Structure 1
């Protein structure tokens, strides 16, 4: 198993091509076709990501005891576009007896996260993760099982809406302040990930459009 000295939410952005670092957003919207082309980082087994257009365009993710992220490094001024909006659908949740608060249970049918580099660059990065939880009610927040530099927020739980498309809009200012005790400032990357390696199980999800929006 890949040694998790840092959580996947942070490690996914530690080996990005330097060319991405200087990219300035001309628009803060990512279509499924664009997301499907984001670079991959495999940690403990591959996850299959593909562009699917059965009922609507989406990035389909199938994790068979695997952990791989799609990530995009880009500087985002949260004061200008503080609202993160996305849609996803979870068809299968990872299965296991361990709590998601524990390392053995740290798998999610779907997650989207933003990353901020620290004083020492990517090695001191912090990540805010929004997840579809197996067990924890929406609104529950907790430190990642591997490090306190990653913070988890449940936005959905269990099977009640499994198989449905769900759209969310979150205030990054408010959530970052609650997680880390300060304003977010600049975000340096955004990623999606479906994983099931710790639970040795399977998870399946689809991701739609992702947008970063200004205050209305």
Structure 2
């Protein structure tokens, strides 16, 4: 696994898809001390957003510098914990994890901008692939790279536990347009307070969302968002693994 990157790097993952869609949101501030020491030692970092209070992230199942899970507590807050990953999608095209929401699941419409809080989300970021970019995207990409760097990823799949669509539905990320996709893995009608196991086909989902073969993902993020509804959410994720 490569060395940990700065919070600014994962910010590129989120902002890149927003910028190329011409929908730039408020820029994020540098990471703050909202990750516990075990997460930091394991290479996790955090993105926080200007004028928004951050979530609190702590490690679960930590041993000898390794962390198998993350707990997040959100109270009118929003931020994302993220980790560098390396994986050959040709050998391991699927992702599995277990997650649980320990409070009432937030039910907002994630398909619309504004008020789009969620109890839990898993972000998977992929590199920019110029060979698959349209002429218009290539023109926009030049501006993205000038502002954020040539290594800025170009696509994000977000597996959400939240409202706005039926379970299994795939929609455009309202902030990113065709450069980001939401997959509604769980909805407010799924049970809280218990571990649920997921297995997703990243390659198939990427092709469905973006119409071409993906490169291997570079970052995975975990986030909770309660700043609009000013509610409290507690959730956990563990056992994130790439599998055949």
Q: Give the TM-score taking structure 1 as reference length.
A: 0.75
Aligned to 2:46: 40
* Shift in alpha-carbon separation, 1:177–1:189, aligned structure 2, 3 A: same
User: Counterparts of 1:63 and 1:76 in 2: how far apart (Å)?
Assistant: 30
User: Counterparts of 1:122 and 1:105 in 2: how far apart (Å)?
Assistant: 31
The reply to whether residue 207 of structure 1 matches residue 237 of structure 2 is yes
User: Counterparts of 2:181 and 2:104 in 1: how far apart (Å)?
Assistant: 20
Partner deviation per Cα, 1:74-100 (whole Å, 9 max, x = no partner): 33321121010000001225646x521
Post-superposition shift, 1:137?
Answer: 1.9
The reply to whether residue 175 of structure 1 matches residue 175 of structure 2 is no
Partner deviation per Cα, 1:1-57 (whole Å, 9 max, x = no partner): xxxxxx996249999xxxxxxxxxxxxxxxxx669751111122210111246xxx7
The reply to whether residue 115 of structure 1 matches residue 144 of structure 2 is no
User: Counterparts of 2:13 and 2:174 in 1: how far apart (Å)?
Assistant: 11
SS at match of 1:89: strand
Post-superposition shift, 1:200?
Answer: 2.9
User: Counterparts of 1:164 and 1:12 in 2: how far apart (Å)?
Assistant: 35
Aligned to 2:111: 101
Aligned to 1:184: 214
Q: Indicate if the aligned counterparts of 1:94 and 1:199 stay in contact, CA closer than 8 A.
A: no
User: Counterparts of 1:103 and 1:151 in 2: how far apart (Å)?
Assistant: 14
Q: Greater share of strand residues, 1 or 2?
A: 1
Match of 1:83 among 85, 94, 112: 94
Aligned to 2:136: none
Greater Rg, structure 1 or structure 2? 2
Q: Indicate if the aligned counterparts of 2:106 and 2:118 stay in contact, CA closer than 8 A.
A: no
Q: Identify unmatched segments of 5+ residues in structure 1.
A: 1-6, 16-32
User: Counterparts of 1:147 and 1:122 in 2: how far apart (Å)?
Assistant: 18
Runs of 4+ in 1 over 6 A off after TM superposition: 12-15
Match of 1:132 among 158, 161, 164: 161
SS at match of 2:223: strand
Aligned to 2:65: none
Partner deviation per Cα, 1:88-132 (whole Å, 9 max, x = no partner): 001225646x52111213221111121012145454521001111
User: Counterparts of 2:183 and 2:227 in 1: how far apart (Å)?
Assistant: 20
* C-alpha RMSD over aligned residues: 2.9
Q: Give the TM-score taking structure 2 as reference length.
A: 0.67
